Amino acid sequence: MTQQTAESPARKQRAQLKVRTLRTDRWWLAPALTFAGLTFFLIYGFWAIFDKSYFVEPYIAPFSSPCLTTACPEGARLFGWAPIGDWFTLPPGLIILGLPAGFRFTCYYYRKSYYRSFWLSPPACAVGEPHKKYTGETRLPLVIQNVHRYFFYGAILIGAVLSYDAILALIHKPAGLGTWILLVNAVLIVLYTLSCHSCRHITAGRLNHFSKHPLRYRAWTFVSKLNAKHMQLAWASLFSVMIADFYVRMVAKGVITFPFA
Ligand code: FES
């Protein structure tokens, strides 16, 4: 029997199976659910960004916050501020959409999930994919995914703004159900942001001696615990932001009117 080396052609080929996979479990369930969840989010987001009912005192819908143009109602503006002026006539949510969207789109977890569920590359472990070549993220266009670490800083800003919105709602008396929905959403968004792999790297990624940097070590330990739950936080915050956004729009439209809405 001849020994195969790393360079031998046989080692470079994929397993020559006649069937797509030998797996007998429901391997297709996770990519199918992911496909459904992400598609639903994209459709909702598209509707929400063009919907005009994004503000009702004291709530602002997360998809439209921060509101930075003079078209925004007075109470909806961040610190009463409208730095973009009146030249931007498209929905205000479009101005900041790139930050949270770019952060999620380039997120390591979401990459894995949409590569599997949309691109089927591969759809699951040990399941054949329809593509002939695999070049990974080492060349264009996927090498651009490396900008994720920069989106992280933008996501910190968005998390701070959503927290500020929730606090404004909280100090408004009486606090309605929307306040608690915005608050839970802000907490989940911040936890998802802090659980980011880039955040973990920033806290202590290049340290050789934890003992010389006790504060960074503690931060890293905290972020590492969150990081272990990154997938769960990604989904929880995805749904919480949709629920909070939808709730505010329904109150603003007068669809939800019960006391303390
Ligand atoms: Fe998922 Fe950074 S890795 S948000």
Task: Judge contact between 222 and 214, C-beta under 8 A.
Answer: no
* 25-72 pLDDT tens trace: 999 999 999 999 999 999 999 999 999 999 999 999 999 999 999 999
If one compares 90 and 3, the residue with the highest pLDDT of the two is 90
Tokens of 261: 């809405």
Residue 100 alpha carbon to ligand 1 centre in Å: 11
Atom of ligand 1 nearest to the CA of 148: 2
Label residue 5 by pLDDT band (50, 70, 90): very low
- Check if the interface score ipTM surpasses 0.90: yes
Q: Specify the pLDDT at position 16.
A: 75
**Residue whose CA is at the smallest distance from ligand 1 atom 2:** 196
What is residue 158's three-state secondary structure? helix
Tokens of 259: 């006391």
Instruction: Name beta bridge partners: 59.
Output: 56
Q: Alpha carbon of 95 to those of 43, 49, 54: distances in Å? A: 19, 10, 14
* 126-166 pLDDT tens trace: 998 888 887 888 889 999 999 999 999 999 999 999 999 99
Instruction: Write down the pTM of the prediction.
Output: 0.91
What's the CA gap between 227 and 13, in Å, rounded?
35
Q: Specify the pLDDT at position 89.
A: 86
Tokens of 8: 């031998």
Pocket test for ligand 1, best of 153, 223, 230 (most atoms within 8 A of CB): 230
Question: CB within 8 A of 167, min separation 6: which ones?
Answer: none
Residue 111 alpha carbon to ligand 1 centre in Å: 9
* 63-116 pLDDT tens trace: 999 999 999 998 899 888 888 988 888 998 999 999 999 999 999 999 999 999
What's the CA gap between 175 and 158, in Å, rounded?
23
Is a pLDDT exceeding 70 seen at residue 7?
A: no
- Ligand 1 site residues (CB inside 6 A) read 103, 107-109, 148, 196-198, 230
Q: Specify the pLDDT at position 134.
A: 77
Residue 22 alpha carbon to ligand 1 centre in Å: 32
Q: Specify the pLDDT at position 173.
A: 80
Instruction: Name beta bridge partners: 85.
Output: 69
CA 160 to chain centre: 15
* 195-246 pLDDT tens trace: 999 999 999 998 999 999 999 999 999 999 999 999 999 999 999 999 999 9
Amino acid at residue number 197: H
b or e along 42-51 (b: 16 or more beta carbons within 10 Å of the residue's beta carbon)?
eeebeebbeb
**Domain assignments of the chain as residue spans, ordered by start:** 27-127+141-253
Pocket test for ligand 1, best of 137, 150, 158, 198 (most atoms within 8 A of CB): 198
